[in-house]
Amino acid sequence: MTRRRLVTALLVLAVLALVALPLALGGGDAEYAGTDAQAAAAVEESGYTPWFESVFPPSSSEVESGLFALQAAIGGGVLGYVLGRLRGRRATERAREDGRP
């Protein structure tokens, strides 16, 4: 086995261990609550009343997850476009400095 294959195998094993160990040690009985749910509970306990109602409340958690994924995809697309334009602009400037068309 070459050194490159050994390093790859060890990295794969390390990733699998990072995924499997928390599941094995935790026993799967932990409740996973996000910070949004904890913050909402803290706000409700303080007696805060909202100023307005949502214009479009999601009908289910699947719709809410889909809207979040769409928002993340749009943001990733915009970020990728901007970084690509900046890299292309830099490459064009370097080509002009080198005298290439």
At residue 74, the pLDDT reads 98
Q: Is the pLDDT of residue 35 over 80?
A: no
Residue 44 inside a domain? The answer is no
At residue 2, the pLDDT reads 92
Number of domains composing the chain: 1
Residue 5 inside a domain? The answer is no
Q: Is the pLDDT of residue 22 over 70?
A: yes
Residue 32 inside a domain? The answer is no
Q: What domain range includes position 64?
A: 58-100
**Separation of alpha carbons 55 and 24, rounded Å:** 43
At residue 36, the pLDDT reads 77
Residue 25 inside a domain? The answer is no
At residue 40, the pLDDT reads 82
Q: Which amino acid is at 5?
A: R
Helix (H, G, I), strand (E, B) or coil at 56: coil
Residue 17 inside a domain? The answer is no
- pLDDT tens digits for range 44-98: 888 888 788 878 777 888 888 899 999 999 999 999 999 999 999 999 999 888 8
Token couple for 53: 């109602």
**Separation of alpha carbons 12 and 4, rounded Å:** 12
Residue 7 inside a domain? The answer is no
